[in-house]
Amino acid sequence: MKVMTIVGTRPEIIRLARVIARLDATPGVDHVLVHTGQNYDRQLNQVFFDDLDLRAPDHYLGVDTSSLGSVLGGVLVETEKVLVAERPDAVLVLGDTNSCIAALMAKRMKVPTYHMEAGNRSFDENVPEETNRRFVDHVADFNLAYTEHARRNLLAEGLHPRRVIVTGSPMREVLEHFRDRIDASAIRDKLGLQQRGYFLVSAHREENVDSPDRLHRLLDCLNRVRDAFGLPVIVSTHPRTRKRLDTFEVESDDGIRWLEPFGFHDYNKLQLEAACVLSDSGTISEESSILGFPAVTLRDSIERPEALDTGSIIMTGLNPDDVVRATGLVMSATETPSVPAGYHLDDTSLRVVRYIASTAGRHRDWAGLRA
């Protein structure tokens, strides 16, 4: 059986790390790894391939990223070429990035298509990824949800139960596999930081940094947190955020350090030892729950409500008063919230590979496709 996995951004690479490794190691599976080039940057991609012990992709599509249209069109055009060349028996994508649109071409070519992280919903149209999530879920032949929350969303939208399975989040398996290397990282000492003596920030979402007003509000939040608690703020600066800071000529005060993006081991080490992590990333809900560090999500909506259910994270948006209040609350907590159901599993990669093996050969009959 030939399985093609398509990635394009750092979050996909991280979450799929152990699935990719298992597909590579499974007897009888010919695994083809494809990188679309959507976010290719050494700090955002190659360093993560190295940190996560991943081999080089078999195909690098090199899509034009100069505009949204060129990305979407390029993903479809280049995916068609690699599908024709490889003729896979199944295609796997994860998440809600523009690279996931590759699922459409696989579907049109009648290749069984699998979508991990299916069913996540923020119900917020200000979030561009929300459109991608809905689209790919309904295009995919099989949807692999992390939680019952996500599964219920898919069933409520009319997807057949046979097309939906709950696999759990892949993040615990990834974090546990690399925990020794995370713990061994010396990044905090290299930066001259004290344990619990700094705030760590990651903010890159379109809805937070592409508007000058929103970007200034983000800076206000960081300044207020620094002033309220007297600790330095360390920012892992995504290239998108760096570009917007330059474009909008936004300047920050002393005490906020805008650093290059960190590798996987270093960033998680910094998360573990920060006084609090403030982030708009999608993985912060999983990482903070699994690793047990205090965190605030700088968003107005969230597609992982299970983290709010257990109180493992607080959502604030970009209101400075709310951010300061939430930061103080999570820092002063004496109890560790419970890990959401679906985040505790350590065998997600096995579940994914076996589900593909169980269903890919039945797809044509189930879909009613003519020979």
Q: Which residues are catalytic?
A: 204
Residue 190 CA to residue 321 CA, distance in Å, equals 32
Task: Please report where in the chains the tokens 């970009």 appear, as a residue.
Answer: 318
Residue 111: name the closest of 82, 132, 134, 133 by CA. Answer: 82
Q: Count Cα neighbours of 247 within 13 Å in the Cβ-side half-sphere.
A: 12
* Alpha-helix runs per DSSP H in the chain: 10-15, 17-25, 47-51, 68-86, 102-108, 128-139, 148-156, 171-177, 179-184, 187-190, 206-209, 212-229, 239-247, 264-273, 284-291, 306-309, 320-332, 348-359, 363-367
Residue 99 CA to residue 11 CA, distance in Å, equals 12
For 309, counting Cβ atoms within 10 Å of its Cβ (0-12 exposed, 13-18 middle, 19+ buried), the class is: middle
Residue 298 CA to residue 278 CA, distance in Å, equals 7
Q: What share of the chain is helix, strand, coil (3-state, %, to 5)?
A: 50, 15, 35
Amino acid at 110: K
27 three-state secondary structure: coil
Q: In the structure encoding, which two tokens stand for residue 95, read together?
A: 């998440």
Residue 17 CA to residue 19 CA, distance in Å, equals 6
DSSP assignment string, 114-132: EEEEET-----TTSHHHHH
For 6, counting Cβ atoms within 10 Å of its Cβ (0-12 exposed, 13-18 middle, 19+ buried), the class is: buried
* C-alpha dihedral sign at 237, 238, 242, 248: negative
